[in-house]
Amino acid sequence: MEQMTTDIAVLERALIVMAVCLVIQTLLFVATGVGAFVAWRRASAALLDAKAAAEAQAAELRAHLIRISGTVEEAALALRRGTTAVDDVMSDVRDAMGTVRNSVGTVASVVTAPRAALALGLWRGVQMWRKRRAARREDHGNFGTLDSGKGDGNGKVEQ
């Protein structure tokens, strides 16, 4: 019977070692579960913080986008006003060119042969009349000057 006692003692020790190992394994699994739970809570808190930061950044980006779109809208309106002004100026230039063409046509019709000949003849006649009048004044003497004959011709009078 001694042999059975040693076999039972070995079995008891083996069962005790197995029980201790199971307790250690259970404690390790419980610790792992607690660690996983804490990590999950921290990860979800970090995820909520990251989500809030992303939403704040998206709101800031949206505000910048609204401001930029307003600036682009103003620039587009200014460009439209500028093109309208340029279009108005071009219309005015076209109208002015048409008026100049009509004026040139009117001047050309005024300066045509019979009218031009009459105007040229009148102009030459006035020039000839002025030359004759100037010649008569020289022939009759210089009555309009105050020359006493005592000067040197430069406006100085001797005394």
* 34-61 confidence digits (pLDDT tens): 999 999 999 999 999 999 999 999 999 9
pTM of the complete model: 0.39
> Cβ distance 88 to 80 under 8 Å?
no
Q: Can you give the pLDDT at residue 113?
A: 63
Rg of the Cα atoms in the chain: 60
Tokens found for residue 85 = 């002004």
Residues 17-26: pLDDT tens digits?
999 999 999 9
CA 137/CA 91 separation, integer angstroms: 59
First-residue to last-residue Cα distance in the chain: 184
CB 158, CB 151: distance < 8 Å: yes
Q: Which two tokens stand for residue 141?
A: 């003497």
What pLDDT is stored for residue 94 in this prediction?
Answer: 85
153 pLDDT exceeds 60? no
With CA atoms as reference, report the closest residue to 45 among 76, 53, 133, 105. Answer: 53
Six-digit token string for 49: 């913080």
Over range 127-152, report the average pLDDT.
Answer: 72
Query: Each residue of 118-135: pLDDT tens digit?
Result: 777 888 888 898 899 988
State yes or no: pLDDT of 1 exceeds 50.
Answer: no
Rounded Cα distance, 115 and 105, in Å = 15
CB 69 within 8 A of CB 76: no
Q: Which residues are CB-neighbours of 148 under 8 A, at least 6 positions away?
A: 157
